[in-house]
Structure 1
Amino acid sequence: MMASDKTYDSFPPLENALSEPNGLLAAGGDLSPRRLLEAYRKGIFPWFNKDEPILWWSPDPRMVLFPSELKISRSLRKTLKKDHYRIHTDRSFDQVMHACASPRKEQTGTWIHPEMIAAYVDLHEMGLAHSIETWVDGSLVGGLYGVSLGKVFFGESMFSSVTDASKLAFVHLVQQLQAWGFGLIDCQVKSDHLASLGAREISRMEFSQRLDLLISSLEPSKKWDFGRTRIE
């Protein structure tokens, strides 16, 4: 396990991750941009409760979406073609994170606590973390945020305050990433919500190999401003 002192320690090999709980690889360290970027480049992400040690995960299998495999239901396609909403990027990154941090139904807490928000705001200011937002009548009603490295987008969390708001943001994101030549969207762990949109599981080894091919730079590649993409 990673030490949590002031010296910088790299992550253990991915094969050291536990099978139970699935993917737990290391504990400790910090949420500095340097460590977070190393983690994402290796297929590792942080998830931990407030006031507990930072835990680092690399589950096997890994839930991913290949942009070309996006599935849009008939009902969602009808909603996408309406004009009642607007999609914006990076207009209110902090607000998206705080909305994602709100406890879901039957939950009493959140893993997106102030320490996590501050860390991802740092990445956002570096041009590496982004929010994709659904707005209706001037109000933020849904969206998601994540980290973009090379040709990979690492999705972190999403929220909706009205029906399908996060799906609207997600579909626009996927179609734009496909147009930009992105090869992979990381969805971390299996969920029925993401599976309905075309995400599927691959092995940790395959995921790691794809990252090696798709991440050639840790620098922001372009300004994230794609407005409202056309839905075919």
Structure 2
Amino acid sequence: MRFEGIEKVWIKLIDTDVQILPSEDGTVHVYVEPEDAFTLKRDGSTLKVLTSTGWKLKNLLKKEKERARLSMRIPDDFCIEGSMKRGSLKAKRTRFDSIAIGEATAELEECEVKSPSVGPSKVKGSMYIREEAEVTVSMGNLELKILELGGDLEVLAVMGSITLKLPEDCDAVIETVQQGGGVVVNSGRLLGSGDHRVKISSVKGVVIVDTWGELDEV
């Protein structure tokens, strides 16, 4: 299915394997399997993609949940927001305004995420910070490589663990707040001119901050 005139995609998914890739023609392409697992709604310039009620009921009493499949191609200057539970996500060069991930695995490649929230999940990948952003892990594991730091960043580990790699040539000052968890800063507290603030907070989780450079594997 091909959609023109879309500026934002909103998702609310459960028991779904999701793949998101860039679209080269400025339109949104959506491929679903099976079709009855999804409900697609257009609201002006927003496309809503939801797990259908029938699919939820079908899986409700199953011990082994059946996975639906969703593949989307979206222009890399468009925005996605929403949530997903029990599934997987693979995204490349995708902009997320906000995304909540629970009981899932996710791989992000060269993405931009303003406000990711990670529940009991495993998320890893690389992303750009081009404006103020917040990263929250309530229970799970997050491995994140920042490709470019162009705004302030707040990182909170309620429980679980976060491994954060900052570019060694970025301009940042690192602040830490510990409330019973642990924060390990392997880099210096001042990187470059310190133009941007990176605030690291831990309640009962663990956060490790390091840097990467041109000689490291990208």
> Normalized against structure 2, the TM-score is what?
0.26
Larger fraction in strand: 2
Larger gyration radius, structure 1 or structure 2: 2
> Normalized against structure 1, the TM-score is what?
0.25
Task: Say which structure, 1 or 2, has more relative contact order (CA 8 Å, 6+ apart).
Answer: 1
Larger fraction in helix: 1
